[in-house]
């Protein structure tokens, strides 16, 4: 395993928390998925740059972004999703809050 790949996996694991902070409660599911993809894409490119392996080949860029995204999704599905922490963090950090129900 190359240093870039190992770093991409570690960054992907850490991205789970950042993605939860960036997601918005009021956004539709597709928009929150787009947030995750864009965040992992940025993290993948930064990982390549930080490890000094900045070769602009499609295989290098797409592979690193895919590793970050897969590691983030695996961490989310395995540990984060059902922990209850995700809901609390997402609700506390959302800028667009859901409107509270009206009391008659």
Task: Select from 10, 53, 16 the least CA-distant residue to 36.
Answer: 16
At CA 34, angle to CA 8 and CA 36, rounded to 5? 30
The reply to whether 99 falls in a domain is no
Q: How many structural domains is the chain composed of?
A: 1
CA–CA separation, 59 vs 102, rounded Å? 52
pLDDT value for 71: 93
The reply to whether 30 falls in a domain is yes
pLDDT tens, N- to C-terminus, the chain (104 residues): 567 888 888 999 999 888 888 888 788 889 888 988 999 999 988 888 888 766 677 788 888 889 999 999 898 888 877 788 877 887 788 777 666 666 76
**End-to-end alpha-carbon separation of the chain, Å?**
61
**Cβ count within 10 A of residue 97:** 11
The reply to whether 97 falls in a domain is no
pLDDT value for 93: 80
The reply to whether 102 falls in a domain is no
The reply to whether 78 falls in a domain is yes
Identify the domain containing residue 78 by its residue range: 3-92
The reply to whether 100 falls in a domain is no
At CA 71, angle to CA 69 and CA 75, rounded to 5? 120
Distance of CA 79 to the CA centre of its chain: 14
pLDDT value for 54: 64
The reply to whether 84 falls in a domain is yes
């Amino acid at each position: 395993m190359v240093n870039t790949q190992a770093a991409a996996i570690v960054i992907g694991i850490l991205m789970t928390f950042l993605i939860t902070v960036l997601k918005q409660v009021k956004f539709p599911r597709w928009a929150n998925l787009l947030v995750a993809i864009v965040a992992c894409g940025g993290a993948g490119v930064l990982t390549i740059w930080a490890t000094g392996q900045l070769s602009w080949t499609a295989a290098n860029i797409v592979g690193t972004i895919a590793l970050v995204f897969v590691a983030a999704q695996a961490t989310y599905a395995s540990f984060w999703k059902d922990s209850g922490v995700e809901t609390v963090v997402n609700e506390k950090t959302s800028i667009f809050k859901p409107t509270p129900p009206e009391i008659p």
